[in-house]
Structure 1
């Protein structure tokens, strides 16, 4: 039974609920832009530098299911503190690395910590927030992470100016210290799980997968397509900008403006999902993103047209903030929820890993335009799957 939404305000829990995620996102955002450059400085080839950057996502993929076990055993709050501490160790390794392999190990460790932190934060909010406000909570969680990732590079710029590339990692250290310290000192949120009821029995992962196979195969697959679309979007824009002759500075401007659009609408979108239903946001989000990518090879022939399409793409992604976490939370059972969400993250991370591989393969055997349009068609497929399997009305159970 959920807490009445009339007695609950997200504003009252903003700091404990979203503060750690904002700081964690800032830490990751500070280091992401310099990972490849650091690898090159240590003697890595361009291919190896790309692999080292990819180790963040690989680490997250590997850690999703162990993260669920850790959060279940030690609790979400302890898991977040531990993840922040583990990230600090990883950043020290990055700072002291004398070879690309040591840097790669540090980056991989950050990916592991990220999976633990985000899963623990999502599970914590699912329990703490009334069902009638779940989408707003999930979209705000996604929005704060995006804000952190957006602010991080700007915050790191001053440190880099004073200290060189290592300054980005020191900025990340400060952010991770803040995330871990805040997670440690803030009081636990009052959750629906702490109402005096007996703790639910633990359910084996295999049992959950069997019991909820339909949800994983239908809505889980649809959200994996969302992840694939989002991951490819970050690759498509610089590649197509280069294809039409735009320089790196212009491409960065386009990318930054699109990132700003991403952050504008996360809360209104969450409110619409809570009051009108999940389909009112997921369907337009996928249709907008898919259509934008399908149109890119045909319409984006210069700066203005590419910028316009990227802003529309950012709009589609922005209104979809939190949809993966919200749909996963809706589908999750009360007993075994953390493990279920770990499996859900594993499925969606497979999408974010597989999408770029599909794009790369299609580009190699056909062309970049064919690859982009194929990825765009995945957005339309996801829209159809959401239309087919998502409830038409707001969740009220």
Structure 2
């Protein structure tokens, strides 16, 4: 199990490296290429938009290709993207093209890693496995941040991307080797008559994807603007950055912990997801007060505790769709990428019209909408559970 989980984490981390390397080294990249801050923001939006548009197709493709070929293709696309960016594109359009390649690789890497965990880990350990895998996002951010002082400043940002490309190539060579066991288990998750796997509970799944978009928009805005708001409210820039870092580490711990607990709980996981989302509503309201101690409490509550829900959401969807886990989680990933692409930009526009406090309340409203959609999806699944031919709800 450990090699499979490690492979899934490496694969998921590799897929997000193009965008996190770009944002972490943004000062160096923009100075060298002559990009404006607005152009940089648009490039990040391009990455997440392309990831959203390709999530469902790559999920279905991963089902057909299998974990080995899908993981090799995903890491290969990430490597091409990173190499292309390291060659210093001469225009924002060229840079966007390489980011789109990386975005497709990112979608494929998420689908392949979810498929790898679904087929290569025991059902009784999948909650913990998905919790560990979802820690790949903050891990990629940490790698991107570490590249700045260790490589970017001394050798140049291009060498940071080149080093990340080497990591992607290693993943393309190593991860498929741990996929054989997962492929061998495929027969246990497909129908005996060889019928094509189908998505179970499509309407609830679409509702969950939409809920994820709302939740990701709120959290993406929080991660983008928390440091600025904390600094405006009286914290030093250093302490504000430290708050975000500590809360992010807490999120890793919470994602793993909630997964371990899920493996010991008999269903009802969606109710727990909804509870975590609602904790984020409370946290955003505390952040919106502008009082430093309450901002700290709200950040810990929202980022470290509430934001543990994505891993449990994926685990729930996989349990509901054992024959098509990559395609099912592709719907959820599409929602996540859509929220990440749209949320911070709209929040920035909102700040030009209203006060920061209003913006945080709007984000809290987005989380309320997410919770309501999740509750609706859960209700639909409870109704569909009465069909004996479908797997039990979670």
Give the alignment partner of residue 311 of structure 2, picking from 322, 329, 343. 322
What's the counterpart of residue 245 of structure 2? 256
Distance 1:347 1:316, change over 3 A: same
Deviation at 1:245, TM superposition (A): 5.3
Distance 1:385 1:296, change over 3 A: same
State how far apart, in whole Å, the 1-side matches of 2:165 and 2:327 are. 30
Deviation at 1:345, TM superposition (A): 2.4
What's the counterpart of residue 284 of structure 2? 293
Distance 1:57 1:37, change over 3 A: farther
Whether 1:104 aligns to 2:96 is yes
Check the 8 A contact 1:284/1:316 in 2, yes or no.
no
Deviation at 1:349, TM superposition (A): 2.7
Secondary structure, aligned partner of 1:365: coil
Check the 8 A contact 2:130/2:311 in 1, yes or no.
yes
Give the alignment partner of residue 371 of structure 1, picking from 335, 359, 362. 359
Give the alignment partner of residue 53 of structure 1, picking from 44, 51, 55. 44
Q: Structure 2: which 5+ runs fail to align? A: 383-391
Structure 1 residues 27-82: Cα deviation after superposition (integer angstroms, max 9, x where no partner): 76444311464134212222112112222212211221331243133222211111
Distance 1:136 1:396, change over 3 A: farther
What's the counterpart of residue 380 of structure 1? 368
Check the 8 A contact 1:279/1:386 in 2, yes or no.
yes
Distance 1:246 1:101, change over 3 A: farther
State how far apart, in whole Å, the 2-side matches of 1:350 and 1:312 are. 24
State how far apart, in whole Å, the 2-side matches of 1:291 and 1:102 are. 43
State how far apart, in whole Å, the 2-side matches of 1:69 and 1:100 are. 31
State how far apart, in whole Å, the 2-side matches of 1:152 and 1:56 are. 16
Secondary structure, aligned partner of 1:200: coil
What's the counterpart of residue 281 of structure 1? 272
Structure 1 residues 79-129: Cα deviation after superposition (integer angstroms, max 9, x where no partner): 111121111111122112122322222222212210111111112212233
Moved more, 53-62 or 218-227: 218-227
What's the counterpart of residue 193 of structure 1? 186
Aligned length: 379
State how far apart, in whole Å, the 1-side matches of 2:180 and 2:26 are. 35
Structure 1-normalised TM-score? 0.83
What's the counterpart of residue 340 of structure 1? 328
Distance 1:132 1:185, change over 3 A: closer
Q: Structure 1: which 5+ runs fail to align? A: 1-9
Structure 2-normalised TM-score? 0.83
Give the alignment partner of residue 225 of structure 1, picking from 210, 214, 232. 214
State how far apart, in whole Å, the 2-side matches of 1:274 and 1:78 are. 29
What's the counterpart of residue 298 of structure 2? 309
Check the 8 A contact 1:278/1:390 in 2, yes or no.
no
